[in-house]
Each structure stands twice: as C-alpha cells, then as structure tokens.
Amino acid sequence: MKIEGIRYADGELHIKCNPQDGVQATYKIEPGKEYDIVLHKNKRSLDANAYAWVLIDKLSAKLGLSPIEVYRQAIENTGGVTATIVCVADIAAPSLIKSWEKGHLGRQCQQFPSNTPGYVNVKLIYGSSDYSTQQMSRFIDGLVQDAQALGIETMPPEKLESLLSSWK
C-alpha cells in the first residue's frame, strides 16, 4: 500500500492511500500511546460461505473424497489468491507450519529446499477465511465449474450473480 499523504489536526491522524487500495482513514490519537493500523477487508457473506460448502459436499459425494480434501484442493486451485513464501531455519519450519495451519482448515503449507544450507522454503497458502470478496468469488466460481463438469446441479446463474454482487 502506498501512502500518498498524512495529516495530523486536532488530535486526529488522516492517512490517504492510493485509489487502487480504496483506503482513506482517520484515527483519533492519544499522546503517549502506540497504534497499529490494519487494512479492513469486507467479509464474505455467510450465504456465500454456506453455498461453497453445499458445493463442496456435493463434490465430495461424487468424487468419493472427504469434504475437507475437496475444500483443500479447491483452495490450492483458486487463482489470484496470495500465498507467501518464507525462508526459515530447518528447525523452525515445523513450528511455523503448525502455527500457520492451526484452527484453519484451508490454510496449508508446502515445504521445499532452499539454496541456503540449514534453511527451507515454506509456502504459506491462505484459506478461504482469509479471502477478500473478490477471491471468494473466484473460489466459488471454481467450485461451480467443477460441479458442472461432473453433472452436479448448481445455483442458476442469475441467483449466483445476485449472491456474489451482494458482497460488494
């Protein structure tokens, strides 16, 4: 995120960011306190999440896989979702992986060798609970395509469009 301007007036901090981030914020500042500024993402709707799991369940039954396996494969196949690759000491990798995946069905890690002796690269894959509405839309689109390819009935396109547009 690129910050274009910062202004402090009357106890408020005004931060202006570039338009593509769509972020402008004002914070009330108290002297002597420290503040963390985080980017707010619109949460996906519960209806969209429920529909994703309906499709996952149908795919699971058709493919003979567990719903979690279907979900995790769909996560890996969703394009345009950020993953982070970090290089960590061999000894630290198991702890990082455990911490990253804890409490998240979709978060995954892939470990591969590093060119630095004593280190490994770990790819941290985000789960759908981390997705923006745009990423969740791509995730559901992928599930719909998979379901249709297997002859599984999906929501009519106009109803799906209505569901997806309700997030914006």
- 8-46 burial, b at 16+ Cβ within 10 Å, e below that, comes to eeeeeeebebeeeeeeeeeeeeeeeeeeeeeeeeeebee
pTM comes to: 0.66
pLDDT at 155: 86
| Average pLDDT of the chain, as a whole number | 81
> Which H helix or E strand runs over 71?
helix 67-77
Closest CA to 74 of 22, 143, 151: 143
Give the chain's radius of gyration (CA, Å). Answer: 20
Structure tokens at 89: 């000491």
Q: Which residue has the tokens 């599930």?
A: 143
Q: How many other β-carbons are positioned within 10 Å of the β-carbon of residue 125?
A: 20
The pLDDT tens digits of the residues spanning 36-71 come to 655 555 555 568 888 899 999 999 999 999 999 999
> pLDDT digit string (tens) for 72-109?
999 988 876 768 889 999 999 999 999 999 989 889 99
* Amino acid symbol at 97: I
